[in-house]
Structure 1
Amino acid sequence: MEHWKRTIERANRCFAEGELVDAREHYLQALALAQVLFERWSDADEAVAACVISHHNLADLHLRLNQPEESVEYLCAIHQRLLQTMQNPRLAPALREAALRQSSKTYVELLNFISDHGEYPRSELLLKSPVAQSSHEFSTVSGHHSGAH
């Protein structure tokens, strides 16, 4: 977790200083760490949050580069990963529950992106999938909501 945090902090500094190529490299390293450790992290909420933050930071970076199509790919990728995690009975219940809690955040981010930048093929396909629709209904009914990142 500490290595991931240091990598994200380095990326955020680069992003703030306008060094976008370096920021992208660090964000990609952080994403790779989060993905490799996703099922191995001792704290399921931290594992899911690290993955979400990594994807969302890359989406923000691509928006700054005026690359909305790349941005929506990262937003869709993490939302889809959480939906798959929630439904995978082989994964630990704590990880599945953390994915459920964070999926409302990734859903809101995706809807905000579409509101600001329009629909893209992957976002349209993802949001209309039966899996996405049923999980959002469950999330709404069960009252699991969280704020934007």
Structure 2
Amino acid sequence: MHQQIADFAADKPTSDTPSLPLWEAAMRQAVQAERDRQIALALCGYERALAIAQCLIDAPPAGRADDCLAALVVSHLNLADLRVAQGDPNAAAPVLCHAHETLIALSLDAARPASLRQAALRHGRETYVALIRHISRHGPHPLITRALADADAALHGASPARH
């Protein structure tokens, strides 16, 4: 099995430069490994795809910011789904929270282009729904509660005044 994981990690396009095609290849491999019930390989693939997506966010190709954010969200959601499928919904919660927190931070980062910030807000709806869905299926989780409250405060301003 360890050799399969090493082979899986090495089975990638010749370029190590993060790109959407590299992310797509990693994601396809991970999905296929999950279908084949090779969970360790799937986990490795989803983590690799997530690492590529995170690099793409730091320097998205021109005109592809939305695609890079979608890759980031899909990577997180697939990784979280795999954790749930493994019977560990508690391990999925931090993955979902990280996705949502990353998008909120990007949407508020004035140093980022407006197009990326707006796309981060749009994709933040997906991660918000994923957090709510996780709570409805698996019960409350303190990390999710905090992530939702922090996002609300960041987006709407924490105000002690009640309305």
* TM-score between both structures, scaled by the size of structure 2: 0.79
Give the structure with higher Rg (CA). Answer: 2
Query: How many aligned positions are there?
Result: 136
- Counterpart for residue 51 of structure 2: 32
Check if 1:98 corresponds to 2:119.
yes
Alignment of 1:15-26 (within 5 A): 15-26=34-45
Amino-acid identity (%): 32
Partner of 1:144: none
Aligned counterpart, 1:74: 95
Higher relative contact order (CA 8 A, sep 6+): 1
Higher mean C-alpha displacement, 102-111 vs 34-43: 34-43
1:134 CA drift (Å):
5.7
Do the aligned partners of residues 116 and 96 (structure 1) sit closer, same or farther apart at CA in structure 2, a change above 3 Å counting? same
Q: How does 1:1-149 map to 2 (within 5 A)?
A: 1-42=20-61, 43-129=64-150, 131-133=151-153, 135=155
Partner Cα separation in structure 1 for residue 118 and residue 135 of structure 2: 26
TM-score normalised according to structure 1 size: 0.87
> Which ranges of structure 2 fall in alignment gaps of 5 or more residues?
1-19, 158-163
- Deviant stretches of 4+, over 3 Å: 133-137
Shift of 1:36: 1.1
Q: CA RMSD in A?
A: 1.5
Conserved in 2, the CA contact under 8 Å of 1:39 and 1:47? no
Check conservation: 1:86, 1:99, Cα contact below 8 A.
yes
Partner amino acid, structure 2, of 1:23 = A
